[in-house]
Amino acid sequence: MEIIGYLAAALTGISLGLIGGGGSILTLPVLVYLFGIAPAPATSYSLFIVGITSLIGAWNSHRKQDVSMQTAFLFGLSSILTVFLTRKFLLPAIPEKIFLTNTFYLTKSLLIMMLFAVLMLAAAVSMISDREQVSGEEIITAPKKINFWKLLLYGLLIGIVTGLLGAGGGFLLIPALVILVGLPMKKAIGTSLLIIALNSLIGFMGDIGHFQIDWIFLLKIAAMAIAGILVGGLLSRKISGEKLKVAFGWFVGVMAVYIIIHELFIG
């Protein structure tokens, strides 16, 4: 099972390199179901893995001048602080046993996994319905005047999602950067990777002292994901990212349904 887990970690990196997002949303299920890590600490591990992998991807995009530093900074004003506060104070404040009835027992772990399944379904719909790229040709979006307050509020939303669930939120970021800011798709992907990296790594720092970290295991998983994103970057020159995004969207959707069924009826 561990071998499958390491291969899955590489797959999340490959998907980031190919389509610029989505892959990181599989990190938590891989850690929980293939490595047997409890959901709460798994979100912490996920933040580190997603953060390091996205940072490598952002660096590659920066070298190609596909990162808007101004936009990343504006998002970071709200999202980074929100992630840190969520991990440091909000997540530890959620009780392990939330409530119990005669027929239903809601635990912290169940709440995290169900919220994550909803997030996966939203990501799947976004990837399947997204048509910003057609036949491999990018639609050029006219630059827009940056609305500081919209970016601030959106940054808060991204920060809460990242902080609670350990997911990068690229499927939320990329449409926002295209629609609200008017960034071209490639620059939106590169900018989102930088924002995801900053959010995730700062969020992981907020976990220090809350969980015992197995650093050897964590670094091995991160290494597999980094190798994956480098491979994905090379493959992106030869494979249509748009077609892969739709197929991957369906896969994420199926995984979300599996999590719901497993947590409610099997687990």
Share of the chain above pLDDT 70, in %: 84
What is the reported pLDDT for 219?
93
Residue 182 confidence class, pLDDT cut points 50, 70, 90: confident
Q: What is the pLDDT of residues 115-146, one digit of tens each?
A: 888 888 887 887 788 654 433 444 444 555 66
C-beta of residue 177 within 8 angstroms of C-beta of residue 192 = yes
Coil vs helix vs strand at 134 = strand
What is the reported pLDDT for 149?
77
- Chain-centroid distance of CA 144 in Å reads 26
In this structure, the number of other CB atoms found within 10 A of the CB of residue 218 comes to 17
pLDDT at 217 over 90: yes
pLDDT at 104 over 80: no
C-beta of residue 232 within 8 angstroms of C-beta of residue 16 = yes
Please tell me which residue, 207 or 21, carries the higher pLDDT value. Answer: 207
For the entire predicted model, the pTM comes to: 0.77
What is the reported pLDDT for 218?
92
Residues of the chain by 3-state class (helix, strand, coil), percent to 5? 75, 5, 20
Among the listed residues 168, 227, 194, the one whose alpha carbon sits nearest the alpha carbon of residue 9: 227
Domain ranges across the chain: 2-266
Share of the chain above pLDDT 90, in %: 6
Name the token pair of 238.
């030869």
CA distance 29 to 33: 6
CA distance 184 to 160: 26
What is the reported pLDDT for 90?
86
CA distance 226 to 49: 9
CA distance 84 to 27: 20
pLDDT at 236 over 80: no
- Chain-centroid distance of CA 192 in Å reads 10
Please tell me which residue, 224 or 100, carries the higher pLDDT value. Answer: 224
C-beta of residue 28 within 8 angstroms of C-beta of residue 254 = no
C-beta of residue 2 within 8 angstroms of C-beta of residue 11 = no
